[in-house]
Chains A and B, each alone.
Chain A
Amino acid sequence: MTWLTFLIVSGIAVIFAGGLIFSRNAVHGAMCLVASFCAIATLFLLLSAEFIFVVQIAVYAGAIMVLFLFVMMLLNVQGQEGALAGRAPGQLLVALALGAALLGQAVWLVARGGEIISRPARIPAGFGSPEDIGTALFTRNLLPFEITSLVLLAAMAGAVVLARKAGLSPKPNGAPAGGKPE
């Protein structure tokens, strides 16, 4: 894990994250985000987190982004918005000021952060392997793991209820429920 590798991969991640923010087309932004997620997955690999690397590729760059692209395809809304087309006055200024504040905090952390900032990595053998993760997940974190299954169940039921046509109430002006006929 050297500076050269770190700078190349993190540069790719930052450049494609900028592509998400500045692209006019939402689909292009999604593609940029997939590339950024892959770069971040490579950073996980550099941090000897092999399991998280695989999950990042499969869940984030795979499943979640496919969901985004499906919804874009379903709604077929694109080109209605120029990039950075803020309508509120001073919106861009507020965003830039808040971003500068966050970046300043990061710089302050490095400058004044104390011992952990310059600490070299010291890791035990087998760190980050699926066996190691599994031991931590199913012993010390068993209760959060079980609660996670409840969260997923609730999200699944909620998504089905929300996306169902019959569950929609009519508009206040008397238009029929369900929007466009298919």
Chain B
Amino acid sequence: MIWNATVPFGAWAVLSGLLFTMGAAGFLVRRDPIVMFMCIELMLNAGNLLFVAAARYLGVVDGQVYVFFVMTVAAAEVAVGLAIIVAIFRRKTTIDVDEMSEMRG
């Protein structure tokens, strides 16, 4: 019965690539910076999934430790990024990314 066979590593790689692709496409297509941020989180999760799968299939637990670090840095990044969005909104009362062109050379 194929449904009871164990899942090979390749299936996890494909799933991780699919989730990362969806995150990248969403980041490129959407204009709302908050939604773009959430797409970044989706990409980070896809990477975490591949880390954990590799840890399991190689039998080395360090992959899970790296996922822990990635999550910590992601939390810090979200805090700073959302603070930047709030600061920009206070100054310009819009957060449309197409409106932010002051730093263009």
**A residues neighboring B (CB under 8 Å):** 1-4, 6, 10, 13-14, 17-18, 20-21, 26, 29-30, 33, 36-37, 40, 43-44, 47-49, 51-52, 55-56, 59-60, 63-64, 67-68, 71-72, 74-75, 77, 80-81, 83-87, 91-92, 94-96, 98-99, 102-103, 105-107, 109-110, 113, 116-124, 127-128, 132-133, 136-137, 140-141, 144-145, 148, 151-152, 154-156, 158-160, 162-163, 165, 168, 171, 178-180
Complex contact A64–B19 (CB within 8 A): no
Q: How many A-B residue pairs have CB under 8 A?
A: 266
A159 contacts which chain B residues (CB < 8 A)?
79-80, 82-83
Residues of the A chain whose Cβ atoms lie less than 8 Å from the Cβ of B93? 179-180
Least Cβ–Cβ distance between B9 and chain A, in angstroms: 6
Task: Decide: A117 and B65 in contact? CB cutoff 8 A.
Answer: no
Interface of B is mostly: helix
Residue B86 contacts which of A37, A71, A152, A180 (CB distance < 8 angstroms)?
A: A71
Find out whether the CB atom of A168 lies under 8 angstroms from the CB atom of B80: no
Q: Nearest-CB distance from A148 to chain B (Å)? A: 5
Q: Are A74 and B42 within 8 A (Cβ)?
A: no
A sample of 18 cross-chain residue pairs with beta-carbon separation below 8 angstroms, ordered by A number, consists of A2-B4, A21-B25, A33-B41, A43-B15, A51-B64, A60-B71, A63-B75, A75-B89, A80-B96, A96-B25, A120-B6, A127-B61, A141-B69, A148-B69, A163-B86, A168-B90, A168-B91, A179-B89
Residue ranges of B at the interface with A (Cβ–Cβ < 8 Å): 2-26, 28-32, 34-35, 37-39, 41-42, 45, 48-49, 52-53, 55-59, 61-62, 64-65, 67-69, 71-80, 82-87, 89-91, 93-96, 98
